[in-house]
């Protein structure tokens, strides 16, 4: 397994991590923007929930980028790079609180799919540290999706 770890920069692992980073960054931006712009009767609870989620995501962005660097590649860092790599669209500040929640739920579902794909690639490459990082991220986004989905329930 040590030999596989030495060659990880030559595998698709870094590309998949870059996609995870881009989706994570775009979802972070959307969550933070919705934290600023949410309105309505649920303002306080949503404002607080969004802050908890974007704060956790902010820390994770650094961990993902540093893993890419540890594998010998440069981490994407521009809006255009993230735009080319991400499947998560920008948010709309004029959305109602309910529409914000629905968009964030979809964003987490998208990121969960990206994470699962990256996990498979990392596992196939024998990259245990990346598998560990991605498993932690997957659990966090599944929890965030659950919290948002529970808030959307009637």
Give the tens place of pLDDT for each residue, 97-150.
Answer: 999 999 999 999 999 999 999 999 999 999 999 999 999 999 999 999 999 999
Q: What pLDDT band is residue 154 in, cutting at 50, 70 and 90? A: low
Structure tokens given for 84: 């080319």
Q: For the residues of 106-146, what is the DSSP string, one character each?
A: HHHHHHHHHHHHHHHHHHHTT-HHHHHHHHHHHHHHHHHHH
Contact 75, 18 (CB under 8 A): yes
Residue 42: exposed, middle, or buried by beta-carbon count in 10 A (0-12, 13-18, 19+)? middle
The reported pLDDT for the residue numbered 2 is 36
Give the tens place of pLDDT for each residue, 39-64.
Answer: 999 999 999 999 999 999 999 999 99
């Amino acid at each position: 397994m040590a030999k596989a770890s030495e060659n990880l920069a030559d595998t698709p692992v870094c590309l998949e991590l870059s996609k995870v980073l881009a989706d994570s960054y775009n979802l972070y931006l959307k969550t933070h923007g919705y934290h600023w712009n949410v309105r309505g009767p649920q303002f306080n609870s949503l404002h607080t929930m969004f802050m908890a989620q974007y704060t956790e995501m902010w820390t994770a962005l650094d961990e993902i980028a540093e893993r890419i660097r540890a594998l010998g590649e440069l981490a994407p860092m521009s809006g255009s790079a993230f735009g080319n790599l991400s499947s998560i669209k920008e948010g709309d500040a004029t959305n109602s609180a309910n529409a914000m929640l629905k968009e964030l739920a979809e964003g987490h579902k998208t990121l969960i799919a990206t994470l699962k794909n990256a996990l498979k690639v990392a596992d196939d490459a024998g990259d245990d540290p990346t598998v560990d990082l991605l498993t932690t991220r997957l659990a966090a986004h599944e929890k965030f999706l659950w919290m948002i989905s529970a808030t959307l329930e009637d």
